[in-house]
Amino acid sequence: MPAVSKGDGMRGLAVFISDIRNCKSKEAEVKRINKELANIRSKFKGDKALDGYSKKKYVCKLLFIFLLGHDIDFGHMEAVNLLSSNKYTEKQIGYLFISVLVNSNSELIRLINNAIKNDLASRNPTFMNLALHCIANVGSREMAEAFASDIPRILVAGDTMDSVKQSAALCLLRLNRTSPDLVPMGEWTARVVHLLNDQHLGVVTAATSLITTLAQKSPDDFKTSVSLAVARLSRIVTSASIDLQDYTYYFVAAPWLSVKLLRLLQCYPPPEDASLRSRLTECLETILNKAQEPPKSKKVQHSNAKNAVLFEAIALIIHHDSEPNLLVRACNQLGQFLQHRETNLRYLALESMCTLASSEFSHEAVKTHIETVISALKTERDVSVRQRAVDLLYAMCDRSNSKQIVAEMLSYLETADYSIREEIVLKVAILAEKYAVDYTWYVDTILNLIRIAGDYVSEEVWYRVIQIVINRDDVQGYAAKTVFEALQAPACHENLVKVGGYILGEFGNLIAGDPRSSPLVQFNLLHSKFHLCSVPTRALLLSAYIKFINLFPEVKGTIQDVLRSDSQLRNADVELQQRAVEYLRLSCIASTDILATVLEEMPPFPERESSILAKLKKKKGSSKLPDMDDSRKNVNGNTEHAEDAEVASKTPQFLLEELISTDRPHPSSSATMLPTRTMVPSHTFTDNLNVNSAPSSGASLLVDVFSDFSSAAPTESSDEHFPRFVCKNNGVIYENQLLQIGLKSEYRQNLGRMYVFYGNKTSTQFQSFSTSVSSNDVLCSQLNVQEKPVDPLIEAGAQVQQILNIECVSDFSDTPVLNIQFRYGGTLQNIAVKLPVMLNKFFQPTEMMSQDFFQRWKQLGAPQQEVQKIFKAKNQMDTDVTKAKLLGFGVALLDGVDPNPANFVGAGIIHTKTTQVGCLLRLEPNAQAQMYRLTLRTSKESVSQRLCELLSEQF
């Protein structure tokens, strides 16, 4: 077909598209497409060389066919040919085809890269941009290999056009995301940072994105961007709306750039420089002030743009979490939005307030909005808004309002959308447990949950109520009475039968004195539910029955009759049959004493962090529930743990001795109270007497559920690199044939941020990549580690980054563990790595004069404040290395304090959220003996101990 028109209007293409649109059926469309494909194929194969225009037209048709959802298996070569055309329109179609239909056909890649190379070198900005956009769109490793070093050069070259700079910046960003290892960092970083000063705001916009991405990975290298970003932001927010002309959007000056700058600043802690800090505070105040000004336009675009900046400013204020005044102002502003007529704003205000609730400065201010939030729960039409309201209620909950919030959530649950019921159930269960002062309230709440939303009450929730009732003898009688009453309802949820069966089996005796709940009445009540229940519940009930035989000898006959009936002894289900047979036999031949031993009340469960919390986190993705659970403990003074300790000390100890070494007794997977698999007939009965010891089947769900991570045995664990991180913050912490894990960390006062880089060393994608940080119970209350989400896929050879936010609440000596799980090929890989977060990371060095040092040294003279260790040198004794290690450890080295110049003296302050601990140390090397003497004095014994332990391993 000859060219019908000049320019890029392709008439043939338009005709073809019209034909397709006019097709009445799918078949007709396929027919028309096949005809066209045959035509194009013959043209491409024909003897006559096609001119550029025809090639462009046919390639464009192929692209259209592909976009309709049909496979295209030819035309790639013609598209590549178009790349070397010197006409823009032909080149553009060629690049578009390549970008949309990339495949890693190696021959073509070489040709494509060659064309790109030529265009990059062409000095024609239009062609350069086409090439850069193609690299940015494809982002393949081959392209990264070919161009990663050229692009920074183009970006910072003085004579590069603005629009090319914009593309180059973002192109580099894409390559950094897909193949970070190939993008060289170095001399150009400083010049990239200076793009923030560029006159062209489009260049600044693109550069800010690039710098933000790079700063997230290596904050130190881009530290200088903070002052430039603040300066730029300040100029934008104080400008009159006409100043920025092209970049003013509905009377708002450069809203997107402002948002990006504010996000860049969120990569860093508040500036330390006082004048910079106050300039930033001024900016944030100006943004907050503008929110109060009357709108310059009634258009929603105006308010959206303005509020986009406002919300980002609030995010920065929350991130810094250091200016109470700004936090409270932010909270008040969001409070206004809670009642705004725009649904979007109400939603965002609820979401943003959720994070404000976790700051101790604004927690109280957030709480004042409780009534508005509750009314949102009742009146909002959009389920996602109601969901945010639930989140916020959860986040603002503390001891003072927990009863009200739990009650509101329960009442909302009756009408809540199915999609969010399970989550609400989990939240109610967590709050009820956390803020239970009196555990009768807790029991009532959980039973209400089961009544209202039984189907959404997961195993974790009802396991937990049983665990708590067993561990707290003050609530057992009440629980028995309450479940007994709840079971009276003609229709009750099976979960209630489970809880009821378990609790009455353990504690039914506590209410048996009342003739209305005599043993027989209890038994008949439970048994009336039996036939309506599923097999696992029936199994649990059978266990309750055998427990009844022990508790109440008077109903033994009745129960034996039930067990003896054909429906039990010959039950088609092997588990039920076995239980019936064994329990019946046990009740017949065992003496009362033996029965009493075998069927003894369950011993208390070890106190662990609630698994419900873990489940909720998992359900929501860790990002959604930031640190509210952990930080709340701080706000409210962490009383839960004290109570737990009290319980533990009250519980009888006699069982613990022998049981701790084996697994603790837990209901097994079928939720029985008794292990059944161990009671196989071949065993003599005495072997099985100790039924309270662990089921050998190991299928104990509660163990799995409650031990969180400790019971999952990672296939590989490593801490070989761990000691090296005591005195340094960056490096490779773990490496095997598949995976390399690198760390970069920064600490400021009691806060830290760790960037974890996971590098896939293989040529196969890692799938289902997930991580979790686990800490033991003690550590949980001392150190908060919050994980940001991590990409579930890691491409071959690629690296992904995860951020961990760390908060030191009080001094600690344990180590959190990073658990990594992913699928490589067909197999699931588990790796556990000790995270090098040690107490000394929260050091702030303190310089002091000799006199001050000795004065403080004397003040810390109590015997428990000093810890001393004498140890042999493991490495060569080198003064400079030692100095570097001590500085890396975090203390300031004080010269001229110790009369012996060979000795080292250091001072620093450990920052924790609750306290600050001053530390002094002295290290005396003895070169002759190859020994060191290390002395630490701090105001806290545990801190002295831990620091001495950590440091003494370093020399």
Partner 1 sequence: MFIFLLSFPPGKTRLAKWYMQFDDDEKQKLIEEVHAVVTVRDAKHTNFVEFRNFKIIYRRYAGLYFCICVDVTDNNLAYLEAIHNFVEVLNEYFHNVCELDLVFNFYKVYTVVDEMFLAGEIRETSQTKVLKQLLMLQSLE
Does residue 8 belong to the site contacting partner 1 (CB under 8 A)? yes
CB-count exposure of residue 429 (10 Å: 0-12, 13-18, 19+) = buried
How many residues contact partner 1, by CB under 8 A? 72
- Contacting residue, 55, 76, 232, 263, with partner 1 by CB under 8 A: 263
d(Cα 744, Cα 218) in Å, to the nearest integer? 7
Q: Which residues between 602 and 631 bind partner 1 (CB under 8 A)?
A: 621, 623-624
Give me the amino acid identity at 693: S
Q: Which residue has the tokens 């296939």?
A: 715
Does residue 762 belong to the site contacting partner 1 (CB under 8 A)? no
Q: Which residues between 354 and 383 bind partner 1 (CB under 8 A)?
A: 381-382
555 is an annotated ligand-binding site residue: no
How near is the Cβ of 348 to partner 1 at its closest, in Å? Answer: 6
Does residue 64 belong to the site contacting partner 1 (CB under 8 A)? yes
DSSP-derived 3-state class of residue 429: helix
583 is an annotated ligand-binding site residue: no
Does residue 67 belong to the site contacting partner 1 (CB under 8 A)? yes
- Contacting residue, 681, 789, 874, 875, with partner 1 by CB under 8 A: 789
How near is the Cβ of 292 to partner 1 at its closest, in Å? Answer: 18
DSSP-derived 3-state class of residue 919: strand
How near is the Cβ of 949 to partner 1 at its closest, in Å? Answer: 38
How near is the Cβ of 652 to partner 1 at its closest, in Å? Answer: 47
* Contact stretch for partner 1 (CB under 8 A) within 255-263, 454-462, 594-602, 906-914: 255-263
How near is the Cβ of 40 to partner 1 at its closest, in Å? Answer: 16
Does residue 202 belong to the site contacting partner 1 (CB under 8 A)? yes
45 is an annotated ligand-binding site residue: no
60 is an annotated ligand-binding site residue: yes
How near is the Cβ of 303 to partner 1 at its closest, in Å? Answer: 9
CB-count exposure of residue 451 (10 Å: 0-12, 13-18, 19+) = middle
- Contacting residue, 54, 81, 113, 166, with partner 1 by CB under 8 A: 166
53 is an annotated ligand-binding site residue: yes
* Cβ(104)–Cβ(144) below 8 Å: no
Q: Which residue has the tokens 């085809």?
A: 97
Does residue 595 belong to the site contacting partner 1 (CB under 8 A)? no
- Contacting residue, 63, 82, 432, 674, with partner 1 by CB under 8 A: 63
- Both tokens of 487, joined, read 């079971």
Does residue 560 belong to the site contacting partner 1 (CB under 8 A)? no
88/871 with CB nearer partner 1: 88
How near is the Cβ of 695 to partner 1 at its closest, in Å? Answer: 37
502 is an annotated ligand-binding site residue: no
Q: How many CA atoms lie within 13 A of 608 on its CB side?
A: 25
Does residue 783 belong to the site contacting partner 1 (CB under 8 A)? no
d(Cα 625, Cα 182) in Å, to the nearest integer? 35
- Both tokens of 708, joined, read 């969180």
67/489 with CB nearer partner 1: 67
* Cβ(749)–Cβ(733) below 8 Å: no
Does residue 21 belong to the site contacting partner 1 (CB under 8 A)? yes
Q: Which residues between 680 and 739 bind partner 1 (CB under 8 A)?
A: none
CB-count exposure of residue 830 (10 Å: 0-12, 13-18, 19+) = middle
Does residue 148 belong to the site contacting partner 1 (CB under 8 A)? no
Q: Which residues between 22 and 61 bind partner 1 (CB under 8 A)?
A: 60
- Both tokens of 784, joined, read 């908060």
Task: Tell me the sheet residues that pair with 824.
Answer: 766, 827
184/792 with CB nearer partner 1: 792
Phi, psi of 830 (to 5 degrees): -120, 130
d(Cα 368, Cα 328) in Å, to the nearest integer? 11
Q: Which residue has the tokens 């179609």?
A: 93
Q: What angle do CA 102, 103, 105 make, to 5 degrees?
A: 135
Does residue 305 belong to the site contacting partner 1 (CB under 8 A)? yes
304/411 with CB nearer partner 1: 304
- Contacting residue, 39, 114, 122, 163, with partner 1 by CB under 8 A: 163
Element (H, E) at 386: helix 383-396
d(Cα 541, Cα 535) in Å, to the nearest integer? 10
d(Cα 46, Cα 42) in Å, to the nearest integer? 6
d(Cα 920, Cα 897) in Å, to the nearest integer? 12
Phi, psi of 358 (to 5 degrees): -90, 0
Task: Give me the helix-helix angle, 88-100 and 125-138, nearest 10°.
Answer: 10
59 is an annotated ligand-binding site residue: yes
Q: What is the 3-state secondary structure (H, E, C) of 785-832?
A: EEECCCCCCECCCCEEEEEEEEEECCCCCCCCEEEEEEEECCEEEEEE
Does residue 87 belong to the site contacting partner 1 (CB under 8 A)? yes
39/344 with CB nearer partner 1: 344
- Contacting residue, 58, 147, 222, 247, with partner 1 by CB under 8 A: 247
Q: Which residues between 913 and 942 bind partner 1 (CB under 8 A)?
A: none
β-pairing, 827-834 vs 716-718, is parallel
Q: Which residues between 206 and 225 bind partner 1 (CB under 8 A)?
A: 206, 209
137/815 with CB nearer partner 1: 137
How near is the Cβ of 134 to partner 1 at its closest, in Å? Answer: 9
CA-to-CA separations, 104 to 108, 277, 765, in angstroms, rounded? 8, 49, 15
6/48 with CB nearer partner 1: 6
* Cβ(103)–Cβ(115) below 8 Å: no
Does residue 205 belong to the site contacting partner 1 (CB under 8 A)? yes
Window 170-189: contact mask with partner 1 (x via CB under 8 A): xx-xx--xx-----------
Does residue 6 belong to the site contacting partner 1 (CB under 8 A)? yes
385/428 with CB nearer partner 1: 385
* Contact stretch for partner 1 (CB under 8 A) within 161-169, 458-466, 487-495, 641-649: 161-169
Q: What angle do CA 409, 412, 413 make, to 5 degrees?
A: 85
- Contacting residue, 37, 144, 146, 257, with partner 1 by CB under 8 A: 257
Binding residues: 11-12, 43, 53, 57-61
